[in-house]
Structures are given as C-alpha cells and as structure tokens.
Amino acid sequence: MERLWTIMKKEMFHIWRDVRTLALILLLPAMLLILLGYGISVESRNTPLAVVDFSKSDASRRYIDYYTTSSDFELRYDVLSEAELLDLIDQDLVNVGLVIPEDFGRKVETGEPVSVQLIVNGSIDPTEAQTVQLKLSAISSMAAQNILVERLQRTPFSGSLNLPIDALIRMLYNPNGDAKLFMIPGLIPILLNVQTLILSALAIVREREQGTMEQLIVTPIRSWELMLGKIIPYLLVSIVNLFVLLWLADILFGVKVAGNYWELFGLSLMFIVGSLGMGVLISNLSQSQMQAIYLALFLVLIPAIILSGLMFPRDNMPPATYWYSELLPVTHYLEITRGIIVRGASATTLWQSSILPLIILSVGYFAASVVVFKKRV
C-alpha cells in the first residue's frame, strides 16, 4: 500500500507541477459542455425560406403569412424568379422555396382551384426533410381550409367543398430520402480533419520532446520553410486518402460526385492545407504531445463533429456557438462536399457562402503557425 501511495504522490506532483496541462484538463471539458450544451438542438425551427411571389396580391401575401407567423419557417429571401430560388438552395442558403403563380390572387377570389409549388432541399438530413414536408403540408392544408371557410361564409351555397389550394411538394437532390447521401459527404471532411489535425499537431512538439529542435534552430532554414516541410508530407498522404474515400463512397455506398470532380479536388486541397496549418499552430502552442492532443481534441475535433452541421442543423445554434463553428474550416468544407457531391453545385455558386471563408481560414491558420513559431528551444 505504501508503494502504491508513493507512485500516486509522484504522479500527482507531476500533474500539479505542469500548470498548463492541469488548466487544460480542468477548463476545456467545462467549456466544451457549455458550448455544445447550448449549441445542440434537434428541433426543426426557423427553417430558412425563400419565396417567389408572381401574384403580388393580398391573397398571396396572406398565404405567405401562414408559413412565417410561427417559428417553423423564417422568410430569408423574396426573389423574382424560380432560377434565383434554386440558386439559393444550391448555395445552401435556404432549405425551402415557395413558388406562387401569377393567377393565385384571381383564382382564390373567384373560387377556382390553384396550385402552388413547395421546393425542399433534399440534401439536408432526411429526417429533418421529412419533418419539413409534414409541416409544409399541414400549414398549406390549414391555409386552404381557412380560405374555404371564408368563402362559404360569404356564399354559403356556392357548391364545391374542395380545398381551393393544392400544394405540390418537390424534393430536390435526394427524393428517396437516402441517409447515405447525407452522411457520406459529411463523413469525408470529418475523417480528413481528424487525420490532418492529429498528425500535424504532433509535428513541432515531437521535435521539442525528442531534443531535435536544436538541430533545426542552428540551420539557416526560415520559419515558413520549416512549416511547409512539416506540412507537405502529410498533405500528400491526405490527398491519397481523399481519393480512397471518394472511391469507397462510390463503390460501397453508391455516392457519386454529381458536380465537377476537379473543383472538389482543388477545394479539398485548400481544406487540407488549412487543417494542417491549424494542427501545426496547435503544435507550436503546446509544450508536450499530451497538450497538443488535448487541444486538438477539445478545441477542434469534438466541436467539428457536433457543430459543423454533420449531425445537427446550425440554423438554430445561439450566436456564440454558431460563430465558433464558423472558425472551423471543416464547417465550410462540409458544405462544399455536400454541395458538389449531392447537389452538383459549382464553385461559382458556393464561392461566397463556403469557398471564400474556407480560403480565408486556411491561409490565416497557416500564416498564424508561421508567426507563432520561434526558432528557439
């Protein structure tokens, strides 16, 4: 028992003496619990909605109000054409589109049946897409019933009791609700992120622990050259893994790249560089491999899995959690993979919403890793 107590005291002394590691062990789990506890929401609320109202009548505006008065849908865009609406869905800026025909107001007033079109982004979680469809059907039926009641109150013996509005729901990209089309393009960024971050997070700190950093310091090598030298081998390995993952997604799960393959490759390259840069930055800030792994796991990898949009929608996140997820390159790369692989979106379509933020973050993290690195022991 005395020997056990001696070993315990020795280990406790090491933990207590390493103040930085102790602080990470105590503070990071609590911070992550707060961040994720407020950030995770499985409720389908405030679903982004875009409207094309060709009618521009009082009846069409009242009909739109049925969708926006509750917290189920949030009107984000009022566009002029169906092409603009589809472009917003391609950019993943909205998940639902409502198209109201030009003769909507006239037909509602005269009692003629009229059809409206509801377009749902099928690249979202199939369960959420099904929930959205049910809500749309329920709201449309309620609106049609209310219009029918008002009509009967004006003309009680008008005859027809058919609902005056027929809502046609169209599911884009994944009409069968195949879960693999949602999960596989989301898993590829996560797997690449885990690999690149862990490998590069140990790069500099391993040199310090092994005592070989001194040999690098006495050489004329520049900081950016050292960073690139550390990153490029892992970059090549990650590129191979990217092709393997895309091949397996096609062969085993039938998930093919609907968009431009080489655009996806180029943007994947940018993401890999950013993830490696973030890993090297963590390595520069750490004094031991334990610290590097702990920082990578709690600051990046767990939030990347939960907050990036892989499993939970980001629209309902509180501002602090939402903006934290915006600082993760994987969040934007995940939108790119789902956009190109599932929706067949082009780089031009995704430029402002996903590609530009990814480029800024990737360049920023690599530059920060160069600035933070100091050629000293």
Report the pLDDT value the prediction gives residue 356, as an integer from 0 to 100.
95
pLDDT above 50: residue 110: yes
Q: For residues 332 and 267, is the Cβ–Cβ distance under 8 A?
A: no
Distance of CA 57 to the CA centre of its chain: 37
Q: What is the Cα–Cα distance from 111 to 109, expressed in whole angstroms? A: 6
Beta bridge partners of 168: 117
| Residue in 149, 92, 148 with CA at minimum distance from that of residue 355 | 92
pLDDT, tens digit, 9 for 90 and up, residues 216-261: 666 677 767 777 777 888 889 999 999 999 999 999 999 999 999 9
Q: Which two structure tokens, joined as six digits, stand for 243?
A: 């092709």
State the burial class of residue 46 (Cβ atoms within 10 Å of its Cβ: 0-12, 13-18, 19+).
middle
Q: Of the CATH numbers 3.30.1490.20, 3.40.1710.10, 1.10.3720.10, 3.40.50.300, which one belongs to the domain with range 47-172?
A: 3.40.1710.10
Domain residue limits, the chain = 47-172, 179-372
pLDDT, tens digit, 9 for 90 and up, residues 158-184: 555 677 788 899 999 988 888 899 899
pLDDT above 50: residue 377: no
Q: What is the mean pLDDT of residues 202-213?
A: 72
Beta bridge partners of 53: 100
